[in-house]
Amino acid sequence: MSRDELWAMAHAERAALADDLADLNDRQWEARSLCGQWTVEEVVAHLTAAASTGRIRWLVSVFGARFDFEEHNARRLAEHRGATPAETLDRFRAIITSTTAPFGHPAAWLGEVVVHGQDIRRPLGLPREPSIEAVTEVARFFASRDFTVRSRSVIEDLRLEATDGPFATGTGPLVSGTTIALTMAMAGRAAYCDDLTGPGLPTLRSRL
């Protein structure tokens, strides 16, 4: 799939997430996401930061944080979080069509919005899922390398097969489920193991 096609998918997933966020109340904005200690609003600010930071600015930020990536992320998140959830959402809407990224393949930044979108939706019980085409591209990318998460390492010597699409990879004990569940598990979200089955599942779960 071309870079332009991958960016178009990322833009579509950002737009869909913005629509899902439009009707959240204050309690929902403050809810804990699946992304560590971050709230829903903090995850949205992080997505805005990622789409607003080019390579040089990213390097300056990382050097300024002395390669403490948690500090780097916290600073950029604070920079792009609004004074209110509505302002945070407005800032996110402003980057929906951005192709700015610090480095890496567009599939990585498609993965950024796919994974963080579900980090938000699942705890809030929001039913929408990304398109199967977008998630399949992210699943293939995650299975091929360790990028910002140990996605390739956690599925080593396992066979993953999607039940709703063409994604399949690896050899070994089988883990099966929807493409989004497999993708989120590769991204380290143990909650999605509840949506998976197969003899390889205990091994995968233990690695998360």
pLDDT at 75: 76
Are the beta carbons of 185 and 197 closer than 8 angstroms? no
Residue 4 to residue 17: CA distance in whole angstroms: 20
pLDDT at 105: 86
pLDDT at 139: 98
Q: Per DSSP, what are the bridge partners of residue 162?
A: 177
Per-residue DSSP letter, 175: E
pLDDT at 182: 98
3-state helix, strand, coil in the chain (%, to 5): 60, 5, 35
Residue 171 to residue 99: CA distance in whole angstroms: 35
pLDDT at 65: 61
SS3 176: strand
pLDDT at 79: 80
pLDDT at 52: 86
What does pLDDT average to in each consecutive run of 10 residues of the chain (208 residues)?
A: 95 98 97 95 94 68 64 76 96 96 87 97 97 98 91 97 98 98 97 98 97
